[in-house]
Structure 1
Amino acid sequence: MRTSIATVCLSGTLEEKMRACAAAGFDGIEIFEQDLLVSPHSPEDIRALAASLGLSLDLYQPFRDFEGVSEDLLEANLYRAEAKFSLMNRLGADTMLVCSNVATASIDDDGVAASQLRRLGEVAAGYGIRLAYEALAWGRYVNDYEHAQRIVDLADHPNVGTCLDSFHILSRGADPSGIEKIPAEKIFFVQLADAPELSLDVLSWSRHYRVFPGEGAFDLTAFMVHLVRSGYNGPVSLEVFNDVFRQTSEDRTAVDAMRSLIWLEERTSVRLAEQNQLSGNDAGSRRYPMDLATLPAVAEPTGFNFAEVLAEDPGDVEGMLFQLGFSCVGTHRTKPVRLWSAGGARVIINQQQARGLAPAISALGLDVQDPPAAASRAVQLKAQPVSRRSQADEAVLQAVSAPDSTEIFLCEATGDGTVAWAEEFGSDGVVEGEPLITHIDHINLSQPWQHFDEAVLFYESTLSLVPRASQEVPSPMGLVRSQVMCSSDGAVRLALNIAPMALEQSGSHGGPEYPQHVAFGCSDVVALARQARQRGLDFLPVPDNYYEDLQARFRLDAALLENLQSLNLLYDRDEDGEFLHFYTATVGNVFFEVVERRSRYDGYGAPNAPVRLASQYQRVRSGSRDGAS
């Protein structure tokens, strides 16, 4: 599949955008006209730069408000178009996007629109230019792709074809299956964009909230299946208007964009193969002109192997782990790293390269069936590999960096709870006895607001984690958006949070400016809380008002309510079961949670999140040792 991207997707100058696209691996680009107009470089300079970067100039866009106009206005439009054709010859681009008229159209007549497009095609042919006619979703008379194609058919000119844009098609709820009926040679260009489900007018939705494939709610895989079946084999380009993307690093955005296309290409290949198999056609997607690449197929992770906290002075963190019932297994034989374990939960305390850093979650390990294949898949999806210094007799762990710089280690699942790398700490990683803590239940990672969608796509595409419905939780300084990424069996639960901007700006530590935490699964949270209290654990306090409301909502047994209140425990219940949990104080940028799931409860105590956020905020305001919240 030939990949392309519109320069309007990225921040920076045209030259910076081009270099970022080339570095990310795109085959070509669309030149958005405004980017060229404000560039100090000539079209010839841009053409030479594209050639040196190995980028084709696939499209020049947009040419607006041409068809359906009076004869006088048509003449002016043809003059304007000819000037653009001449510029495109200098630039070296041979296809121009022509948007359906939204402003000056005064004649609602397909025959008139077609004849005017034919005249434009005749002029374009003299310059070797093709015209890709696109139905804008808010076009005055032409606003769906099938209508646009009927006009292209009526124009009946070899230099006039259609441009298919997934946003304009799917935002109107149109059925994309009609794409298969369009002759492949008349599909001149294809643009892709995803989008979240929003109740907005389609123009505002389009101009501000488009995202890359896999980061929104559209079924772009189905769209691509219809496109491939049409026989189209030209560029597949991204055209995303997004306020956030145009404020962030063009290099990072280009990588995110390329990852989305690689992932979509694989999903399309898999969907086609599945449909062909169901229909009895075993030839697969290779029978179509568009060649779709695939990635190493890997199973979803089966559990958490470990969590790592990086800190210059981890004393308070290790003290909390001891109070929660963890045991220090040992110190690494060559590095200032310690391993703490309780049941199947392992926490690594790392002091390497931590000068001046407050405690923060720096890495997590996931159990996977085939670590090399999982790492290969992640790297092919543009993840950056992570290497750590190791001796010849030490385990070599596969790892990649997530968008927020958290290191993701891909560890071999053994099934018996042992871990080979624990030998370097003088242990097999298994603690004797039956500790109350049994495993890591979930990990909560804060995300920079401008990279949240990127993070969701990263974990879904590289690790096959499925996003659940997102939630917004109120805090004293704004809403916190939370998105859980989960394996199908719930063995891996990763919560991604966007902190309110005011909270992010209030941070003063070297790590994330919004606290993150590790939640441990427990067999008896009441017993563990009592044990932790005896060992001096600093619980996050819960206000009495919370317990009054709790009783009003659930009519709890008096003894249970007393236990909850005396131990700062929180409670939730639904039709599937009960959820009891508590939080520790925050040290630096990290805190811990202990949870007990009763019966089939599968949530995270969402009604209690505002209580936690408010309590953490109060602690910061009162000058306690909590690092940030």
Structure 2
Amino acid sequence: MKIAFNEATTLKNSTLKKDLELCEKYGYDLIEVRLDKLKEYLLENTVEDLKSFFQNNRIKPFAFNALEFINFRDEAGYQQIKDDLKFLCEIGEIIDCKKIIVVPTFDVGDYTQSQIKEESIRVLDELAELAVPYNVKLALEFVGYPNCSVNTFGQAYEIVTEVNKDNVGIVLDCFHFHAMGSKLEDLKNADPDKIFVFHIDDCEDLPVGALRDHHRVWPGEGAINLDPILKTLKEIGYDEMVSIELFRPEFWEWEVEKTIKVGKETTEKVVGNYFNVKVKS
């Protein structure tokens, strides 16, 4: 199991350049590159600079995070999604990053579950076709908030299954899985090849529907029972990668190096109970 770093964990106090240097120092295998951090990086650096870094270091790019609010968009908003998709596909071609996380829209109004499903399938189908020439995969990330249009593992998995494209899969995030009470049985029945990205995190002990990103804590230090999730992933045969992703403002106040170091240590400690996460030489 390779260990990745998601830049949300240092969102407010770091840059892509700093994250890369420190993640390399602490032995991360992979990084999820945030779209906003990438655009910021390119103001003073080139794509070739980024390519060179990855070529000359151990850490590699795994996914771009994220195209947000992809369904139920107006014409201008949806065009921006497609423009950003093309931008990321073109960058990914150069730096060899072939996955993009896509996030459903919040507060969509009084649409039924079937209408949400239909719209999500339509959008994913179209975006996936645009990604095909670049050999890029799209990973749908359900968000465990009551007001997100796609907010459980089962709902998201049903959508990507019905899209039925090789380049469309799902993000499994432990926080989102716990936050809206996703069912372990749905994960047990999932095809591991459809799990494109695995985010690990933990959270405070709040009821279903009340949790928000700022309630996240380090893996193993919160209320989520991570063991059944990790055990199930091992049983179904998933062992590609795990990415530490927190949005906790408290940790944005820390020194960036401390955050990246603690993220690696806590992830190894928890995931190492089920998977080999030893740093490869």
Question: Is TM > 0.5 for Structure 1 vs Structure 2?
Answer: yes
- Decide whether the 8 Å contact of 2:67 with 2:84 is kept in 1: no
1:221 aligned residue (219, 227, 245): 227
Give the aligned residue type for 2:242: V
Q: Describe how 1:229-628 pairs up with structure 2 within 5 A.
A: 229-267=235-273, 269=274, 291-292=275-276
Partner of residue 127, structure 1: 134
The aligned counterpart of 1:45 is 49
Counterparts of 1:64-75 in structure 2, within 5 Å, are 64-69=68-73, 74-75=78-79
Q: For the residues of structure 2 that align with 1:71 and 1:100, how far apart are their CA atoms?
A: 16
Out of 158, 161, 172, the residue aligned to residue 164 of structure 1 is 172
Aligned-pair CA distance for 1:106? 7.9
Q: 1:177 to 1:260 in 2, by over 3 A?
A: farther
What does 1:67-216 align with in structure 2 at a 5 Å threshold? Answer: 67-69=71-73, 74-75=78-79, 77-102=81-106, 108-138=115-145, 140-198=148-206, 202=210, 205-206=212-213, 208-216=214-222
Q: 1:226 to 1:37 in 2, by over 3 A?
A: same
Offset, 1:90: 3.4
User: 8 Å contact 1:111–1:154 — kept in the other structure?
Assistant: no
- What amino acid maps onto 1:137 in structure 2? G
Describe the shift of the 1:148–1:225 C-alpha distance in structure 2 as closer, same or farther (beyond 3 A): same
Contact 2:67 2:81 in 1 (8 A): no
- Using the TM superposition, give the Cα deviation of residue 202 of structure 1 relative to its aligned residue in structure 2, in angstroms: 4.3
User: Partner residue of 2:64?
Assistant: 60
Aligned AA for 1:8?
A
Give CA-to-partner distance per residue, 1:334-377, whole Å, 9 cap, x none: xxxxxxxxxxxxxxxxxxxxxxxxxxxxxxxxxxxxxxxxxxxx
- Aligned pair partner of 2:35 in 33, 36, 39: 33
Q: Which amino acid aligns with 2:8?
A: V
- C-alpha separation between the residues in 2 aligned to 1:260 and 1:91? 29
Residue 49 of structure 1 and its aligned partner are, at CA, apart by 1.6
AA in 2 matched with 1:59: A
Q: Distance in 2 between matches of 1:238 and 1:201?
A: 22
Residue by residue over 1:488-515, the C-alpha shift from the partner in whole angstroms, topping out at 9 and shown as x without a partner, is xxxxxxxxxxxxxxxxxxxxxxxxxxxx
Native 8 Å contact 2:26 2:264 kept in 1: yes
* Counterpart Cα distance in 2 of 1:24 and 1:168: 27
Q: Is the 8 A contact 1:30 1:60 kept in 2?
A: yes
How far off is 1:73 after superposition?
Answer: 5.6
SS for the counterpart of 1:97 is strand
Q: 1:76 to 1:4 in 2, by over 3 A?
A: closer
For the structure 1 residues 73 and 24, does the alpha-carbon distance in structure 2 shift closer, same or farther, using more than 3 Å as the test? closer
| Cα offset, 1:209, TM superposition | 2.7
Supply the AA of the counterpart residue of 1:223. I
Question: Given the superposition, is the C-alpha separation of residues 17 and 202 from structure 1 closer, same or farther in structure 2, using an over 3 Å criterion?
Answer: farther
SS of equivalent to 1:213: coil
What displacement does 1:228 show?
1.5
CA contact (8 A) 1:125 1:159 kept: yes
Q: CA deviation at 1:165?
A: 0.6
Name the CA distance, whole Å, in 2 between partners of 1:262 and 1:96.
25
Matches within 5 A, 1:7-26: 7-10=7-10, 11-26=13-28
How big is each residue's C-alpha offset from its partner over 1:164-221, in whole Å with a ceiling of 9 and x where there is no partner?
Answer: 1111111223233421211111111111111121469646x31x23122112121112
Partners of 2:151 and 2:24 in 1: CA distance? 33
Q: 1:48 to 1:202 in 2, by over 3 A?
A: farther
Higher relative CO (Cα under 8 Å, sequence separation at least 6) belongs to 2
- The DSSP-based 3-state class of the residue aligned with 2:272 is helix
- Residues 385-416 of structure 1 deviation map (CA, whole Å, 9 limit, x = unaligned): xxxxxxxxxxxxxxxxxxxxxxxxxxxxxxxx
User: Equivalent residue of 2:264, what SS?
Assistant: helix
Question: Residue type of the partner of 1:21?
Answer: C
Q: State TM-score, norm by structure 1.
A: 0.41
Structure 1 position 83, deviation (Å): 2.8
Q: How many Å apart are 1:140 and its aligned residue?
A: 3.3
* Pair 1:185–1:55, CA change in 2 (3 A): same
In the alignment, what sits opposite 2:3? 3
Task: Name the SS of the counterpart of 2:91 in structure 1.
Answer: helix
Per-residue deviation, 1:92: 2.8
Deviation, 1:232, is: 1.3
Rg larger in structure:
1
Cα distance, 1:42–1:200 mapped onto 2, change above 3 Å: farther
Determine the C-alpha separation between the residues in 2 that align with 1:260 and 1:226. Answer: 20
Q: Do the aligned residues in 2 keep the contact of 1:166 with 1:194 (CA within 8 Å)?
A: yes
Q: Which ranges in structure 1 are unaligned for 5 or more consecutive residues? A: 270-290, 295-379, 381-629
- CA distance in structure 2 between the partners assigned to 1:248 and 1:69 by the alignment: 36
Q: Can you list the C-alpha shifts for 1:98-152, whole angstroms capped at 9, x where unaligned?
A: 0122256885341332122111111111111100011111253211111001010
- TM-score w.r.t. the length of structure 2 is 0.87
Q: Which structure 2 segments of 5+ residues have no match?
A: none
State the secondary structure of the residue aligned to 2:28: coil
Percent of aligned pairs with the same amino acid: 21
Report if the CA contact (8 A) 1:170-1:176 is conserved: no
How far did residue 75 of structure 1 move?
4.9
Amino acid at match of 1:92: D
Q: Do the aligned residues in 1 keep the contact of 2:191 with 2:236 (CA within 8 Å)? A: yes
Answer whether contact 2:107 2:149 (CA < 8 A) is retained: no
Change in 2 beyond 3 A, CA 1:80/1:33: closer
More helix by share: 2
Residue 220 of structure 2 aligns to a residue whose secondary structure is: coil
Distance 2:196 2:151 in 1: 18
**Aligned-partner residue type, residue 239 of structure 2:** N
Q: Which amino acid aligns with 1:261?
A: T
- Asked if the contact 1:8/1:35 (under 8 Å) is kept, the reply is no
Secondary structure in structure 2 of the residue aligned to 1:216:
coil
**Structure with more strand by fraction:** 1
